[in-house]
Amino acid sequence: MTYGPKPPHRHRRTTAIAAAAAFAVAIPFTSGGPALAGPNFPSPEGNTNISSIVTYDDLITQLERLEKTSRFGVDVFTLAEVGTAVSTSEQGRDLYVATVGEGDEHVWLQGRIHGNEPYGTESLLAVLKEMGTNGSPDWQLLRDTYTFHVIPMYNPDGSELNIRQTVLQVGTSKRIDLNRDWGVGKFEAAESEAFYEYWTMVDPAFAIDIHHQGLKREYGTGDDVTLSLGISLAPGGPTLPGIEGGAYDVLTRQMHVHVYDELQKAGYVNMDRYQVGGSLEIDIKGGVVSAMMLGLDHDGLNPEGHSNPAIFFETSGNTSDGSLGQKARGKSIRQNVLALTELLVGMATGEVQQEDPARWDEIPHAPVTGYQTDTGVIPIGY
Ligand SMILES: [Zn+2]
C-alpha cells in the first residue's frame, strides 16, 4: 500500500475552496450563487437537453486543446498508443487517458462508465484543466504528490448511444454493464479488457469514479439529494473489512467523511450515503472500483495482487430518465469538481487520513437492512 497516512500539514481549506470557486467563472450556472440556491437541481420535469452533452468528438477536441495549452504537462494518449492487448471500444473507438503530475503515487480518476451519466466527463475535464493550468499551492501540491490518470469517458460507445451499457459487436449485440464486468469469468466487453490492463500498469494508490443516479430524497427529511457518496463494497459489510486488514474499510469511510464535511460549506449541495433499494448497502464484486479493492488478478496480469481503495460519487439525475435539467448543469458539474478537489487535496495533505471513520454513520442514510450483493440480498446480521 502506498497511500498510507502522511504527516498532517496545516489546514488548507480556505485555499482549496477558493480554487474550486474559481470554476464558477468557467462553468455557467444560472442561480444567484451557492448561498441562495436550493439543493433541488435535477429536473423532475424531464427536460434534459441532450444536445448540450459532451460527445466523443467534443472530448477529443477538448483533450487535445488541454494538452496544447497546459502549463504543467497534460499528456493525452490512447490505449492503442500505450499498447494494451485490447485497446479500443466494442465499436472500435479509441479509449482516451490524460495524465498530469509528477508524483510517485498514481491516482485513477474515471467518469462515464455508464454512457447516460454525462457529467463525469465534464467534471474530469474541468479538473484536468485546473491540474494543467492552475499554479496555486494546492494544485502544485497535487502535481508534486501524485501522477493523475484521468479517464473522462470510459464508455464512449454507450455515451454516443446515450445508454448505460456498451453493446457487444461480436456475436449477440448483447448489452454489457461495464461496471459489472470486472469479475471472475466476466470481462465480456473490450473496454473492460483494455482499461483493466492499463490499471495493472498504473497500480494506483487510490481511485475515484463519477456517476449519476435517479432523483433521490434524503431519508427522514425528504430533501432532494444532489450528491450521494458511494463505496461499492460496503464498509462493515461482508467483504471490505477482510481486505488489507480492514485498511480500506477505514480509509474509504474517512474519504466520505472528509467530502461530506467540506461540501457542507457549499449551500447548493445536499449529500447522503449511496444506498440501493431504499435501505441496502451495495456490495458488488464486479464493479470496476470493487475489483480494484479486491486486487482482482484477471488473465494473470496482476500476479502481485495490487489493490487500491476507491469511492464513487453519484450526481442526481441522468439523461435517459430525462431528469437532468439544463438549468442545473453548472451546479451538477461544480459539486463533482468541488468533491474531487477537496478529496484530492485532503489526501495529499493527510487531512483525510486524520478523519474519524466512525463519523461515516453521521452521513444521512436509511437504516441499513442488508447488503445487495451480486447474487442477492444478505440481510443485516447474517
Ligand atoms: Zn453509473
3-class secondary-structure state, position 291: helix
Q: Tens of pLDDT along 150-175?
A: 999 999 999 999 999 999 998 889 99
pLDDT in tens, 106-118: 999 999 999 999 9
Cell of 5: 497516512
Q: Give the DSSP letter string of 90-155.
A: TT-PBPEEEEE---SEEEEEEE-SSTT-THHHHHHHHHHHHHHH--SHHHHHHHHHEEEEEES-S-
CA 137 / ligand 1 centre spacing (Å): 33
The rounded Å distance from CA 15 to ligand 1 centre is 31
164 CA → ligand 1 middle, Å: 7
Rounded Cα–Cα distance for residues 125 and 63 (Å): 8
Ligand 1 centroid distance, CA of 211 (Å): 4
70 CA distance to ligand 1 middle (Å): 30
pLDDT at 322: 67
State in Å: Cα 226 to ligand 1 middle: 15
Q: What's the 339 CA to ligand 1 centre distance in angstroms? A: 17
Question: Higher pLDDT residue, 152 or 327?
Answer: 152
CA of 266 to the centre of ligand 1 (A): 24
- In our burial notation (b when 16+ CB lie closer than 10 A, e otherwise), range 127-163 reads bbbbbbebeeebbebbbebbbbbbbbbbbbbbbbbeb
Q: Cα(286) to centroid of ligand 1, in Å?
A: 13
User: What is the distance in A from the centroid of ligand 1 to the CA of 39?
Assistant: 21
Cα(227) to centroid(ligand 1), Å:
13
320 C-alpha to ligand 1 centroid (Å) = 12
The pLDDT tens digits of the residues spanning 79-98 come to: 999 999 999 999 999 999 99
Spatial contact of 122 and 55, defined as CB atoms under 8 Å apart: no
Asked whether the beta carbons of 361 and 15 are under 8 A apart, the reply is no
Query: From CA 83, how far away is CA 109, in angstroms rounded?
Result: 20
Q: How far is the CA of 212 from the centre of ligand 1 (A)?
A: 5
Classify residue 255 by burial, with Cβ atoms within 10 Å: 0-12, 13-18, 19+.
buried
Distance 319 CA to ligand 1 centre (A): 12
| 110 Cβ contact partners less than 8 Å away, ≥ 6 residues apart | 120, 124, 150, 151, 154, 195, 207, 208, 209, 210, 288
- The alpha carbon of 9 and the centre of ligand 1 are apart by a number of angstroms equal to 34
Which ranges of 11-118 does DSSP label H, i.e. alpha helix?
13-21, 23-26, 56-69, 79-82
Task: Give me ligand 1 centre to Cα 179, in Å.
Answer: 8
Ligand 1 midpoint to CA 265 (Å) = 26
Beta-carbon count within 10 A of 210 CB? 27
Order the strands of the 280-283 sheet from edge to edge. Answer: 280-283, 370-373, 376-379
pLDDT tens digits, residue range 226-252? 999 999 999 999 999 999 999 999 999
Query: Is residue 106 within 8 Å of 202, Cβ to Cβ?
Result: yes
What is the rounded CA–CA span in Å between residue 363 and residue 380?
19
The dotted CATH code for 13-379 is 3.40.630.10
Q: What would the mean pLDDT of 215-229 be, rounded to a whole number? A: 93
> Does the pLDDT at position 34 exceed 60?
no
Helices 13-21 and 329-349: angle between axes, nearest 10 degrees: 150
What are the extents of the domains in the chain? 13-379
3-state DSSP assignment of residue 318: coil
Ligand 1 midpoint to CA 8 (Å): 34
Task: State the CB neighbour count (10 A cutoff) for residue 87.
Answer: 18
Query: How many of the other CB atoms lie within 10 Å of CB of 313?
Result: 27
Split at pLDDT 50, 70, 90, the class of 37 is very low
- CA 365 to ligand 1 center in whole angstroms: 19
Confidence check: pLDDT of 292 > 80: yes
Q: Which residues pair with 282 in a beta bridge?
A: 372
Name the average pLDDT for the chain: 88
